[in-house]
Amino acid sequence: MVHFDCHAHVYEKITATPGARYVPKSPAPLEVWKNNLSEHGFTGGVIVQVSFLGTDNSELCSALSKLDKTRFAGVGVVDLDVDDAELDQLVTAGIRGIRWNLVRGKAVPDVTQPVVQAFFQKLRARGLHLEVHLEGPRLAPHLSSLIDQGINLVIDHYGLPSDPRPDADPFINAVKVLPTRCNLYLKFAAHYRTNFSVTPHAKALLDLLDDNRVVWGSDWPHTQHEASTRYTDTFQAFPQARDFLDSTAAEALYGISIE
């Protein structure tokens, strides 16, 4: 069974960074998310930095300060040239991974560049993973180089598949030819961000990945889809959930565990 909601956004106020592509109308309070967890029998979860706050992780860190760090963690957003002191502060706050939100044409960092290699070294030194949010066709050609950086790699939102047929999907085919998948993880979250059913893709990925390499997330409060999505809908859209075990992956990525 699923024990954790490994992808949610929490913010008590809305102060968008300049150029934010989407700004919600209402806050997403921590207490509301905690109530959702309780109502669905989840024991903990992961708060992911929301895009409209950019690299200002203060709302995220504030929420984490109110939570039990054995059951909750965070994924932050930083600049590539982030300094050691800032990263150390985030780790102390409970952040266990860094996210690259690269959808809608944002450039994919060149892993051969010194600043990117220095960034990866900082992640390795702290045991942080990299979470990538990028459309499957754009992600596919970069997957092999990203998997080769000596860190755990988490792919967001089912890999944002682009083809209704899993056997024709660029991302899934890129996973198939990887020489190793031992540090590749998938986050099954936000099925509604793809305009066809991702149930076959979830099955195909579960068949391809090493054991215990998938976590589930609600994507609450479902930004850009608030009016059409309920918390319960996101869980029911994952038909494998009843037989799905997330505890090993959640502990490996986030250091959170079942009480």
Return the CATH number at 177: 3.20.20.140
Domain that holds residue 127: 4-254
Look at residue 242 in the predicted model and tell me its pLDDT.
66
Residue 129 has pLDDT above 90, yes or no: yes
The reply to whether 259 falls in a domain is no
- Average pLDDT of span 206-234: 89
The reply to whether 174 falls in a domain is yes
Look at residue 151 in the predicted model and tell me its pLDDT.
97
The reply to whether 236 falls in a domain is yes
Residue 20 has pLDDT above 70, yes or no: no
Look at residue 241 in the predicted model and tell me its pLDDT.
66
42 and 218 in contact (C-beta within 8 Å)? Answer: no
DSSP line for 33-74 = HHHHHHHTT--EEEEE--GGGTT--HHHHHHHTTS-TTTEEE
The reply to whether 160 falls in a domain is yes
Phi and psi (nearest 5°) for 186?
A: -120, 145
Number of folded domains that form the chain: 1
Look at residue 22 in the predicted model and tell me its pLDDT.
74
Mean residue pLDDT of the chain comes to: 93
The reply to whether 28 falls in a domain is yes
